[in-house]
Structure 1
Amino acid sequence: MARLPRFVLPGFPQNVIQRGNNRQQILFKEEDYWFLREKIGTAAAKFDCKIHAYVLMPNHFHLLLTPLSEDGIGKMMQYVGRYYVQYFNEGNDRTGTLWEGRYRATLLDPADWLIPVSQYVENNPVRAGLVSDPADYPWSSFAANANGAEDPMVTPHAAYERLGRSPKTRQAAYAKGFKTPLDEPRLTRIRDATNKAWVLGDPAFCNLVEERLNRRATPRARGGDRRSAAYREAAGRA
């Protein structure tokens, strides 16, 4: 069965994750992290993808980015995957695949989800038990978004810039969001949308995507008509 094309609208952000095969570790030494980070930054610039948040974890990497072209993410991920696998295999005297199939991604509504997903990405090390505070993890965009550290990989999104009139107020407002972790329903929505490649947004945003791409943007409701107004209203409250 042919794979459905991904949901891509140039100018709209995507939550992207690439895992190691069978969730195996892909990053071991500090040099591994530096190499992968450099390739991600190079690929993002080469293929016109603006990165708003990222984290490099031992067994996967996670990006919140906006592609400026329809094939930008695909080309970027292919570039990163190819170069990192070559580097990793040569350095570890191995052959074969490293990744768990295709990367996973979800198109999202920046108005409602850009900031929560950005914080979801940067809080990954805390949820994994690697650190107790996202500020203690060196391989993410938290220092840039919350503390104003220089990071050439990070391009602030308009939704982030609306957090305050100055860089300091934006950083403070963003950092404040980490004091109240995302609740389980929101975490579940982010994970489900990303893993199942559905659109993350309210009914109006999903309608916009469906009209532009002529495809269903959300899963069909069980035991009901997902096209009904009642269903759309309930989905928006989920």
Structure 2
Amino acid sequence: MARLARLTLAGQVHYVMLRGNNRQPVVRDDADRQALLDMLAEQASRHRVAMHAYVLTDNQVQLLLTPETVDGVPKTMQAVGRSYVRYFNARHGRSGTLWEGRYRSTLIQPERHLLGCMIFMDLEPVRERLVDEPASFAWSSHRHHIGQLHDKRIATHPLYWQLGNTPFAREAAYAELVRAGLTATQIEAMARAVWRGWPLGDAAFVVSLQQQTDRRLAPAKAGRPAKTRSSTSAS
């Protein structure tokens, strides 16, 4: 069975993951991390893609992106994937593949899942036991959103602005959301959505997306298609 094309639409929030082959590291030091983030920022700007949040651990990158055009995310990720592999192989004297196939992505309903996805990403270094708390990890957008630094790569999503009337109020509200964390059900839903590529949102959201694309937006039912009366009579 041919695999489905990625779902990508202009103006929608895309949750994207790019992982190392066999979960091997895609960065070896801070110079690699900085180079990868710089490439992401450069290509996102070139292809008119807003980057709302990111996290870069040793073996994967997770992003929240909104493109102005339908091909903004694919062009950004393809350019970064190729250019970073060339950089990484040249710097570390290696050859061959680095990424685990093509990047994974899905569309999310912002009103229901944007902040949850941001929290999921901020807590990834904690889940991987790299740090004890998100603010101790330098390679994510968490510290930008809690006001510890200004990250010029970040295009703040309007839903974040609604957390408070002042910067301090927004930062404190977001920090509290991260401290509260996510349920196991939320974590499973987000991980499953980005891995399988099905939209993450309610039924009305999926219907609105289906009006914009011919791509199937839900898993096909298992088993053979049911026979029609005419086909049954002919057999």
The 5 Å alignment of 1:48-127 reads 48-127=48-127
Identity %: 39
* Larger Rg computed on CA atoms: 2
Aligned residues: 223
**What corresponds to 1:150 in structure 2?**
150
Q: Distance in 2 between matches of 1:221 and 1:171?
A: 44
How many angstroms apart in 2 are the aligned matches of 1:153 and 1:90? 26
Distance in 2 between the 1:218 and 1:166 partners?
40
Q: TM-score, normalised by structure 2?
A: 0.91
Structure 1 counterpart of 2:128? 128
Kindly indicate whether residue 44 of structure 2 is the aligned counterpart of residue 44 of structure 1.
yes
2:6 maps to what in 1? 6
> Alpha carbons of 1:221 and 1:112: their partners in 2 closer, same or farther (altered >3 Å)?
farther
Q: CA deviation at 1:221?
A: 6.1
Residues 86/171 of structure 1: CA separation in 2 closer, same or farther (3 Å cut) = same
CA distance in 1 between partners of 2:222 and 2:203 (Å): 17
Residue by residue over 1:142-171, the C-alpha shift from the partner in whole angstroms, topping out at 9 and shown as x without a partner, is 011112521011111111111111221111
- Asked whether the 8 Å contact 1:148–1:167 carries over to 2, the reply is no
Superposition misfits of 4+ residues, deviation over 6 angstroms: none
Instruction: Mark the runs of 5 or more structure 1 residues left unpaired by the alignment.
Output: 224-238
Separation in structure 1 between the aligned mates of residue 167 and residue 7 of structure 2, nearest angstrom? 32
CA RMSD of aligned residues (A): 1.5
Q: Tell me if the contact between 2:5 and 2:215 (Cα under 8 Å) persists in the aligned partners.
A: no
CA shift, 1:214, in A, is 3.2
Q: Which residue in the other structure is 1:163 paired with?
A: 163
Question: What residue is the counterpart of 1:174 in the other structure?
Answer: 174
Tell me which amino acid in the other structure corresponds to 2:207: N
Aligned match of 1:138:
138
Aligned partners of 2:111 and 2:137: how far apart in 1?
Answer: 27
Q: Secondary structure at the match of 1:178?
A: helix
| Structure 2: gaps (5+ residues) | 224-235
TM-score normalised by structure 1 residue count: 0.90
